[in-house]
Structure 1
């Protein structure tokens, strides 16, 4: 009888382990990266498609590794380290007078290699950069404490080539 209970316990444990392995095997991988795909109008979509073609294969030493779902409006390098989304909405901070006067320490305007950016520190310590004075808003998220200057320097030529100066609608 003791042997029977032991076998039943072992079989129950194996059944539970099989269910767990099956569930893990069917779930998305932990290292998969996703990004919300913007939905801009046709004009901005075309600009973003042009940007996608002009983007570099490497940014700040990281190889291109686009997030899912696949889209010409999103790009990535180094997994979650650098995520670009083109055709995003204008960030609310861009209209905030405190940002322009330096009164908001978590949002700072600036420029890198001829491209104007709004830098916003996020609650989780990461940074989000959004182009300013361009016909489409391009957002770049930078994580893992990296120096974002290298990221913006590497992206500037593609942004200048594909997204004309002007005011996004």
Structure 2
């Protein structure tokens, strides 16, 4: 005859509190929002894997990295108001909107474009595959886009083949 498993009572209040805390974390982790994203055309490019693994866990001090539902993408912030990143976009050609951004992680050249809806688009220049970052107005209302420099260490894993002129 099968018997139901028996649970042992923790030997101390401290052990009981630790067990309860551990059990409480598991369901909370499952509730973290997944942010919808559209993969780039070349998202399966092997050069994207190390870039994605090197992404920072936070941007701008308080934008926490979130799980996304597409390959070679990540996001920081809340659904509907998140900074999103895609690796594997088509590399852009030369542009007057090219800017070199220097940071502790290195220098990365970005094509910077402002959308009609207030969204800022940053696309790496001179790197293949290219990386695209979209920053919605909900983010730029309360902070600058200088956090783009925080991505240099990860994006820098793709060697540059050209620079802004």
TM-score, normalisation: structure 2:
0.65
- Give yes or no for the alignment of 1:157 onto 2:157: no
Q: 1:112 and 2:101 equivalent? A: yes
Aligned residues: 119
Taking structure 1 as reference, are residues 41 and 149 closer, same or farther at Cα in structure 2, changes over 3 Å only?
A: closer
| 1:42-57 map, 5 Å | 45-57=45-57
For residues 159 and 41 of structure 2, what CA distance do their matches in structure 1 show?
Answer: 19
List alignment gaps of at least 5 residues for structure 1. Answer: 1-30, 101-107
Q: Secondary structure at the match of 1:81?
A: strand
Between the aligned partners of 1:88 and 1:132, the Cα distance in structure 2 is: 11
User: Which digits, 9 at most, give the CA deviation of each residue in 1:81-101, with x for residues without a partner?
Assistant: 21000001234xx45xxx42x
Give matches, 1:62-101, under 5 Å: 62-69=63-70, 71=71, 73-79=72-78, 80-91=81-92, 94-95=93-94, 99-100=95-96
Listed as ranges, the gaps of 5+ residues in structure 2 are 1-32
Aligned to 1:148: 145
> 1:41, 1:129 → 2: CA distance?
17
Query: Which of these two proteins has the greater Rg computed from alpha carbons?
Result: 1
Report the aligned-residue RMSD: 2.0
| Bigger fraction of residues in helix | 1
Aligned equivalents of 1:82 and 1:117: distance in 2?
A: 16
1:60 match: 60
Q: Is the 8 A contact 2:112 2:123 kept in 1?
A: yes
Structure 1 pair 158/57, CA: closer, same or farther in 2 (3 Å)?
A: same
Question: Runs (4+) of structure 1 moved beyond 4 Å?
Answer: none
